[in-house]
């Protein structure tokens, strides 16, 4: 099999890996149903933990994957990641114990965490600097398509029973099969041949750059504040009488459609804006969050979700793509892992932020934490955008 044919097969595997990336969103449309039907006797914070405990456990999963990826290879990590998601996610449907669900959802999160460095490192190692933006763009489209699929189907299932959403985790076996069929771990010779036209300028070995850690911290802050939107969407729909779980799933899917738009736009935007692609994405993220926080209508929710979704999948691949420019090759998997871990720490802490805002304000409106979160988004987003823009100008 020729190298070019295998590159196309690896691209299919990359699309499959990214399609599975946001499987954590399966539970988002079901939050309100679980709070009012399955566990009506439990606090809202306890129900949110079903979703956010996965975000917490994604952190050690990401860090483990970042350190072991070179030893185990792509396929073995894919089996552990996607196989674990399918088995443990579906197993939640077999129990009525909230404690057992916490444990199983924790394992699901750990397995999802393993997948994130896998996806990012595949894009860094399988494609050279010149072609990577194109492949990252299409991979992001695949991620968004998966997210839309998860949200819509999960919302429809949750209107019948939240337990159906747990069974839906078996869908992870589909991208796993594609990865096992099409992916081939590149040899050192193949990696060298891949970089003949656009050779990498970073060393093979070295220390983790401080700026890579900075991007992880800033992404954590922005996503921490923005995640109030994704966690509270089903509750906002119910509180403001917009609709049930299916409507919440549809509105959340608009965010995922925005992810898809980000994928389509990433390559041309990277070509035209160059190193300023991340600052542009951050400004868009701020605008989108503002629409959702203060726009009390379906139109503004849709507009904000679309802008925010596009922004996330501009900032995320834009940041990971720059790692090839200054992060030593032996630290790139770990850099991706730390970046994703920052996001996951933010997602987990969002639950307690929501509760703290409700206690502080005395309001039971699920929109209020989103408005407080917007303050953090605009401060952290602008700081990151300014520093990133200055760094880009120095590079130029």
Q: For residue 217, is pLDDT > 80? A: yes
Mean pLDDT confidence for 38-52: 80
Mind listing the pLDDT tens digit for each residue in 184-203? 776 665 555 555 555 556 66
Class of domain 3-196+207-395: mainly alpha
What percent of the chain stands above pLDDT 90? 24
**Spatial CA neighbour of 314 closest among 286, 334, 347, 333:** 286
Give 43's contacts (C-beta < 8 A, 6+ positions apart).
none
The conformation of residue 40, written as its DSSP 8-state character, comes to T
pLDDT averaged over the chain?
A: 83
CB 231 within 8 A of CB 354: yes
CB 204 within 8 A of CB 137: no
Give 6's contacts (C-beta < 8 A, 6+ positions apart).
184
Helix (H, G, I), strand (E, B) or coil at 195: coil
Mean pLDDT confidence for 330-345: 79
Mind listing the pLDDT tens digit for each residue in 342-378? 877 887 788 789 889 989 998 888 889 989 999 999 9
CB 286 within 8 A of CB 184: no
| Position 66 confidence tier, pLDDT thresholds 50, 70, 90 | low
Q: What's residue 105's pLDDT? A: 93
Helix (H, G, I), strand (E, B) or coil at 42: coil
- Distance between CA 91 and CA 169 in Å, rounded? 9
| Position 282 confidence tier, pLDDT thresholds 50, 70, 90 | very high
Q: What's residue 201's pLDDT? A: 64
Mean pLDDT confidence for 54-74: 78
| Position 115 confidence tier, pLDDT thresholds 50, 70, 90 | confident
| Position 219 confidence tier, pLDDT thresholds 50, 70, 90 | very high
Q: What's residue 378's pLDDT? A: 95
Q: What's residue 264's pLDDT? A: 81
Q: pTM of the full predicted structure?
A: 0.71
Mean pLDDT confidence for 383-388: 92
* Placement of tokens 């933990």 in the chain: 49
CB 289 within 8 A of CB 226: yes
Mean pLDDT confidence for 29-37: 80
Mean pLDDT confidence for 262-271: 82
Mean pLDDT confidence for 209-229: 89
């Amino acid at each position: 099999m020729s190298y070019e044919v295998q590159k196309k097969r690896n691209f299919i595997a990359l699309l499959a890996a990214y399609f599975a990336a946001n499987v954590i969103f399966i539970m988002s449309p079901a939050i309100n149903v679980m709070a009012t039907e399955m566990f009506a006797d439990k606090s809202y914070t306890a129900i949110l933990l079903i979703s956010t405990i996965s975000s917490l456990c994604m952190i050690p999963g990401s860090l483990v994957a970042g350190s072991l990826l070179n030893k185990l290879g792509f396929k073995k990590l894919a089996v552990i990641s996607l196989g674990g998601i399918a088995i443990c996610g579906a197993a939640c449907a077999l129990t009525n114990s909230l404690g057992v669900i916490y444990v199983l959802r924790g394992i699901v999160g750990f397995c999802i965490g393993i997948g994130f460095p896998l996806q990012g490192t595949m894009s860094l190692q399988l494609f050279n600097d010149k072609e990577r933006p194109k492949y990252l763009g299409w991979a992001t489209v695949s991620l968004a398509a998966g997210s839309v699929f998860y949200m819509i189907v999960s919302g429809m299932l949750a209107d019948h029973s939240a337990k159906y959403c747990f069974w839906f985790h078996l869908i992870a076996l589909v991208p796993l099969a594609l990865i096992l069929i099409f992916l081939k771990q590149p040899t050192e010779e193949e990696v060298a041949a891949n970089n003949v036209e656009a050779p990498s300028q970073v060393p093979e070995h070295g220390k983790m750059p401080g700026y890579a850690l900075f991007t992880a911290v800033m992404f954590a802050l922005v996503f921490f504040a923005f995640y109030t939107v994704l966690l509270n969407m089903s509750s906002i729909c119910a509180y403001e009488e917009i609709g049930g779980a299916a409507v919440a799933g549809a509105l959340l899917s608009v965010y995922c459609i925005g992810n898809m738009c980000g994928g389509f736009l990433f390559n041309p935007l990277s070509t035209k804006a160059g190193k300023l692609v991340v600052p542009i994405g951050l400004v868009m993220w701020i605008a989108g969050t503002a629409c959702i926080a203060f726009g009390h209508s379906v139109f503004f929710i849709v507009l904000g979700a679309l802008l925010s979704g596009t922004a996330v999948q501009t900032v995320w691949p834009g940041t990971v793509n720059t790692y090839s420019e200054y992060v030593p090759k032996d630290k790139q998997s770990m850099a991706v892992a730390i970046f994703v871990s920052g996001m996951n720490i933010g997602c987990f802490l969002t639950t307690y932020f929501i509760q703290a805002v409700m206690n502080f304000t005395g309001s039971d409106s699920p929109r209020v934490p989103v408005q407080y979160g917007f303050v953090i988004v605009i401060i952290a987003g602008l700081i990151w955008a300014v520093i990133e823009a200055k760094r880009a100008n120095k590079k130029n």
